[in-house]
Chains A and B, each alone.
Chain A
């Protein structure tokens, strides 16, 4: 069990569908992250939120739209995805320490949502 909960665990969607991935943590962490992981590859950073504001977008296509409605929740809205977007989507959270820096705070990951785009 992890302290970061992701739903759903599995999702199959067509290229014209709109769906959302959800992530929740109650550890009081004010930084939250989305990563994408293709099979047998390392996780790739997509987005970083700090104090509910988007601070990093790693050149992710606009068909992925993140949202952080409050300090405990992180969503990833999906629209018009392509089959190559099929992957494991991982959410993580971490503390923020002093002067907005949290570079050494460990990230706590969820177990991901396995997305298949047909």
Chain B
């Protein structure tokens, strides 16, 4: 599985934007970039995913570099509830019947200050 590199931790102020970086220099052409987050005492939660183009949904935006070797998860206005561990994960697209395992790396622990 292709690997990702994320900072161990980041801090943000409430109601400010947060940019969470992820490096994936060995990404292959069929790898999708997925983001999940895990709030304290909860299971992981899907946030967003994309392949080449930037993506937006109600939770966040995903900005993908043109060479796809890095991406950034953007939370437009951080709230206290956004304090969590954010995982950037590569999933290979495989139409041969096998599964693209969701393999978690270490993630970034985001702290949000009031």
Which residues of A approach B to under 8 Å, CB–CB? 2, 4, 31, 33, 42-45, 48, 50, 55-56, 90, 92, 98-104, 106-112
Given A99-B96, A101-B94, A103-B91; A45-B44 close (CB under 8 Å): no
Asked if A99 and B104 make an inter-chain contact with CB atoms under 8 angstroms apart, the answer reads no
Asked if B46 and A108 make an inter-chain contact with CB atoms under 8 angstroms apart, the answer reads yes
Asked if A103 and B49 make an inter-chain contact with CB atoms under 8 angstroms apart, the answer reads no
How far apart are A54's CB and chain B's nearest CB, in angstroms?
A: 12
Asked if B107 and A42 make an inter-chain contact with CB atoms under 8 angstroms apart, the answer reads yes
What does the 1/0 interface line of B16-60 toward A look like (CB < 8 Å)?
A: 000000000000000010101000011111100100000000000
Smallest CB-CB A-B distances: 9 pairs? A103-B100, A109-B43, A42-B104, A106-B46, A100-B97, A101-B95, A109-B44, A111-B43, A99-B95
Please report which residues of chain B, range 39-93, place their CB below 8 angstroms from some CB of chain A when the two chains form the complex: 41-46, 49, 85, 87, 91-93
Asked if A42 and B105 make an inter-chain contact with CB atoms under 8 angstroms apart, the answer reads yes
A-B contact pairs, 15 of them (CB 8 A): A4-B43, A33-B102, A56-B99, A90-B43, A99-B95, A99-B96, A100-B97, A100-B98, A101-B100, A102-B99, A104-B34, A106-B46, A107-B44, A107-B102, A109-B43
A99–B96 CA distance with the chains assembled, in angstroms? 7
A110–B107 CA distance with the chains assembled, in angstroms? 19
Which residues of B approach A to under 8 Å, CB–CB? 32, 34, 36, 41-46, 49, 85, 87, 91-107
For chains A and B in complex, what number of residue pairs have CB atoms within 8 angstroms? Answer: 75
Asked if A90 and B32 make an inter-chain contact with CB atoms under 8 angstroms apart, the answer reads no
Given A42-B105, A106-B49; A111-B41 close (CB under 8 Å): yes
Question: In the complex, which residue of chain B has the Cβ closest to the Cβ of A50?
Answer: B99
How far apart are A76's CB and chain B's nearest CB, in angstroms?
A: 15
How far apart are A22's CB and chain B's nearest CB, in angstroms?
A: 15
A108–B96 CA distance with the chains assembled, in angstroms? 23
Query: Which residue of B41, B93, B103, B105 contacts A104 across the interface (Cβ within 8 Å)?
Result: B93
How far apart are B80's CB and chain A's nearest CB, in angstroms?
A: 19
A1–B97 CA distance with the chains assembled, in angstroms? 32
